[in-house]
A and B are shown apart, each in its own frame.
Chain A
Amino acid sequence: MFRRSFNRFCAGEEKRVGTRTVFVGNHPVSETEAYIAQKFCDNRIISSKYTLWNFLPKNLFEQFRRIANFYFLIIFLIQVTVDTPTSPITSGLPLFFVITVTAIKQGYEDWLRHRADNEVNKSTVYIIENAKRVKKESEKIKVGDIVEVQADETFPCDLILLSSCTVDGTCYVTTASLDGESNCKTHYAVRDTIELRTVESIDNLRAAIECEQPQSDLYKSLGPENLLLKGATLKNTKKIYGVAVYTGMETKMALNYQGKSQKRSAVEKSINAFLIVYLFILLTKAAICTTLKYVWQSTPYNDEPWYNQKTQKERETWKVLKMFTDFLSFMVLFNFIIPVSMYVTVEMQKFLGSFFISWDNDFYDEEINEGALVNTSDLNEELGQVDYVFTDKTGTLTENSMEFIECCIDGHKYKGVAQETDGLSQTDGPLPYLDRADKNREELFLRALCLCHTVEVKPNDTVDGVTESSELTYMSSSPDEIALVKGAKKYGFTFVGVQNGYMRVENQRKEIEEYELLHTLNFDSVRRRMSVIVKTQSGDILLFCKGADSAVFPRVQNHEIDLIKVHVEHNAMEGYRTLCIAFKEIAPDDYERVNRQLIEAKMALQDREEKMEKVFDEIETDMHLIGATAVEDKLQDQAAETIEALHAAGLKVWVLTGDKMETAKSTCYACRLFQTNTELLELTTKTIEESERKEDRLHELLTEYRKKLLREFPKSTRSLKKAWTEHQEYGLIIDGSTLSLILNSSQDSGSNNYRSIFLQICMKCTAVLCCRMAPLQKAQIVRMVKNLKGSPITLSIGDGANDVSMILESHVGIGIKGKEGRQASRNSDYAVPKFKHLKKLLLAHGHLYYVRIAHLVQYFFYKPLYDAAYLTMYNICFTSLPILAYSLLEQHINIDTLTSDPRLYMKISGNAMLQLGPFLYWTFLAAFEGTVFFFGTYFLFQTTSLDENGKVYGNWTFGTIIFTILVFTVTLKLALDTRFWTWINHLVIWGSLAFYVFFSFFWGGIIWPFLKQQRMYFIFAQMLSSVSIWLTIILLIFVSLSPEMLRIVLRSVRRRSTRNPNLELPMLLSYKHIDSGYR
Chain B
Amino acid sequence: MAMNYNAKDEVDGGPPCPPGGTAKTRRPDNTAFKQQRLPAWQPILTAGTVLPTFFIIGLIFIPIGIGIFVTSNNIREIEGNVFMYYGLSNFYQNHRRYVKSRDDGQLNGDPSALLNPSKECEPYRRNEDKPIAPCGAIANSMFNDTLELFQVGNASDLMPITLKKKGIAWWTDKNVKFRNPPGTDPLEERFKGTTKPVNWVKPVYMLDSDEDNNGFINEDFIVWMRTAALPTFRKLYRLIERKNDLHPTLPAGRYYLNITYNYPVHSFDGRKRMILSTISWMGGKNPFLGIAYITIGSISFLLGVVLLVINHKYRNSSNTADITI
Contact = CB atoms under 8 A, between A and B. Distances in A.
A952 B223 contact: yes
B280 A1069 contact: no
B113 to A, nearest CB: 9
B44 A981 contact: no
A948 interface: yes
A308 B170 contact: no
B293 A1031 contact: yes
A623 B96 CA distance: 99
Contact of B25 (A369, A936, A939, A1031): A369
Interface in A925-960: 936, 938-959
B38 A889 contact: yes
A774 B322 CA distance: 55
A891 B36 CA distance: 9
Q: Name the interface size band of chain A.
A: 35 or more
A1014 B141 contact: no
Contacts of A370: 26
Interface stretch (B85-93, B154-162, B185-193, B246-254): B85-93
B289 A1031 contact: yes
B322 A1061 contact: yes
A1012 B104 contact: yes
Contacts of A984: 38
Interface stretch (A150-158, A404-412, A486-494, A1051-1059): A1051-1059
B27 A1042 contact: no
Interface string B276-303: 0101111111101100110010001001
B21 interface: no
Contact of A944 (B97, B124, B284): B284
A677 interface: no
A454 B300 CA distance: 83
A600 interface: no
A298 interface: no
A359 B33 CA distance: 9
A308 B137 contact: yes
Contact of A1012 (B105, B123, B275, B303): B105
A1065 to B, nearest CB: 10
B259 interface: no
B230 interface: yes
Contacts of B50: 1045, 1048-1049
B268 A943 contact: no
Residue of A938, A944, A948 with most partner-chain B CB within 10 A:
A944
Residue of B39, B234, B239, B289 with most partner-chain A CB within 10 A:
B289
A895 interface: yes
Interface stretch (B127-135, B145-153, B208-216, B310-318): B310-318
Given A945-B236, A1014-B177, A953 B293 contact: no
Interface stretch (A299-307, A392-400, A802-810): A299-307
B98 A308 contact: yes
B272 interface: no
Contacts of A358: 28
Contacts of A1012: 103-105, 118, 120
Given A955-B227, A979-B42, A1014-B104, A308 B94 contact: no
Given A309-B137, A359-B28, A1046 B41 contact: no
A1076 interface: no
B49 to A, nearest CB: 9
Contacts of B101: 308
Contact of B229 (A307, A954, A985): A954
Nearest to A362: B35
A704 interface: no
Contacts of B283: 943-948, 1026-1028
Contact of A307 (B40, B118, B141, B289): B141
A974 to B, nearest CB: 13
Contacts of A355: 34
A1035 interface: yes
Contacts of B45: 976, 1045, 1048
B95 interface: yes
B62 interface: no
B46 A1052 contact: yes
Contact of B317 (A85, A313, A983, A1057): A1057
Contacts of B268: 301-302, 305-307
B117 to A, nearest CB: 11
A364 interface: yes
B13 to A, nearest CB: 12
A330 to B, nearest CB: 11
Nearest to B276: A944
A1045 B282 contact: no
Given A356-B34, A1053-B314, A942 B177 contact: no
B36 A895 contact: yes
Given A360-B28, A958-B229, A1048-B45, A943 B284 contact: yes
Interface string A179-196: 000000000000000000
A954 B318 contact: no
A361 B40 contact: no
Interface in A187-228: none
A260 to B, nearest CB: 25
Contacts of A256: none
Contacts of B137: 307-309
Interface in B22-61: 22, 25-30, 34-47, 50-51, 53-54, 57, 61
A982 to B, nearest CB: 4
B217 interface: no
Contacts of A1069: 44, 46
Contacts of A953: 226, 229
A1022 B322 CA distance: 59
A1073 to B, nearest CB: 13
A99 to B, nearest CB: 30
A950 B239 contact: yes
A366 interface: yes
A806 B299 CA distance: 59
Residue of B99, B103, B229 with most partner-chain A CB within 10 A:
B229
A1015 B103 CA distance: 10
A184 to B, nearest CB: 34
Residue of B41, B282, B285 with most partner-chain A CB within 10 A:
B282
B38 A950 contact: no
Contacts of A64: none
A172 interface: no
B288 A940 contact: yes
Given A307-B98, A1053-B307, A983 B38 contact: yes
B229 A306 contact: no
A355 B325 CA distance: 47
Contacts of B228: 952, 954-955
Nearest to B232: A942
B79 interface: no
B318 A307 contact: no
A310 interface: yes
A714 interface: no
Given A891-B36, A955-B228, A1022-B170, A361 B177 contact: no
Interface in A968-1013: 976, 979-985, 1007, 1011-1013
A85 B95 CA distance: 11
Contact of A981 (B43, B46, B317): B43
B66 interface: no
A1035 B95 contact: no
A834 to B, nearest CB: 15
Residue of A299, A947, A954 with most partner-chain B CB within 10 A:
A954
**7 A-B pairs with the lowest CB-CB distances in the bound complex, closest first:** A307-B141, A943-B286, A944-B284, A958-B229, A301-B268, A359-B34, A955-B229
18 contacts: A302-B92, A369-B25, A895-B36, A944-B277, A945-B236, A948-B283, A954-B226, A979-B42, A1012-B103, A1012-B105, A1012-B120, A1017-B177, A1027-B283, A1028-B282, A1028-B286, A1049-B51, A1052-B47, A1057-B314
Given A943-B284, A950-B81, 9 more contacts: A299-B269, A306-B199, A361-B34, A940-B286, A940-B288, A952-B85, A982-B38, A1035-B289, A1038-B61
